[in-house]
């Protein structure tokens, strides 16, 4: 049975794995020289050539995702809603991101963060913690 504390720890582990995923790229020597060269020659994603998509969808989606994380941590009903729908909307952006190159470390961190995010959403909707998201939470339920 998952407690609120365990749910929040799961959120923290997810966030740490996500940060690690984005920062592992900057560690020298993570990519073999050939992959590093290939990555340097990849065209920019189509996403960057469409400023309306980048600033009209991408930036608000990142903001909504971060807001959803805060809402989940605070056990707010809107946190679940925003997190679920920002995840669903993000799937539509994958086709315009283009080709990517990743190291084994980065791929592993991507998998770990995806699994943790799935667990967070599942627990937010289908575990005893889900009751904590009710709009009429009592003071005894605590945060």
pLDDT in tens, 77-98: 999 999 999 999 999 888 777 7
What average pLDDT does the chain have?
86
Q: What percentage of the chain exceeds 90 in pLDDT?
A: 55
Whether residue 137 is contained in a domain is answered as: no
- Distances from the Cα of 27 to the Cαs of 39, 103, 111, in angstroms? 15, 11, 19
The two tokens of residue 47 are 């996403």
Predicted confidence (pLDDT) at residue 45 exceeds the cutoff of 70: no
Average pLDDT of the residues in 1-25: 94
Whether residue 96 is contained in a domain is answered as: yes
Whether residue 100 is contained in a domain is answered as: yes
pLDDT in tens, 32-44: 777 777 777 777 6
Query: Which residue's entry shows tokens 């020597």?
Result: 29
Average pLDDT of the residues in 46-63: 77
Predicted confidence (pLDDT) at residue 30 exceeds the cutoff of 90: no
Name the residue range of residue 114's domain: 4-26+45-132
Q: What percentage of the chain exceeds 70 in pLDDT?
A: 89
Whether residue 36 is contained in a domain is answered as: no
Number of domains in the chain: 1
- Distances from the Cα of 53 to the Cαs of 65, 68, 91, 99, in angstroms? 16, 21, 14, 18
What is the pLDDT at residue 127? 93
Q: How far apart are CA 134 and CA 5, in angstroms?
A: 17
Whether residue 79 is contained in a domain is answered as: yes
Whether residue 140 is contained in a domain is answered as: no
**CA-closest candidate to residue 133, choices 80, 96, 83:** 80
């Amino acid at each position: 049975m998952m407690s609120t504390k365990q749910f929040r720890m799961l959120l923290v582990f997810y966030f740490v794995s996500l940060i690690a995923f984005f920062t592992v790229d900057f560690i020298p020597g993570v990519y073999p020289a050939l992959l590093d060269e290939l990555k340097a020659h990849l065209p920019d994603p189509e996403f960057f050539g469409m400023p309306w998509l980048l600033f009209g969808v991408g930036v608000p989606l990142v903001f909504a995702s971060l807001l959803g994380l805060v809402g989940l941590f605070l056990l707010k009903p809107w946190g679940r809603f925003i997190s679920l729908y920002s995840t669903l909307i993000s799937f539509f952006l994958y086709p315009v991101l283009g080709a990517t190159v990743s190291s084994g470390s980065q791929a592993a961190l991507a998998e770990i963060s995806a699994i943790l995010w799935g667990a967070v959403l599942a627990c937010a909707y289908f575990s005893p913690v889900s009751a904590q998201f009710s709009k009429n939470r009592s003071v005894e339920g605590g945060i």
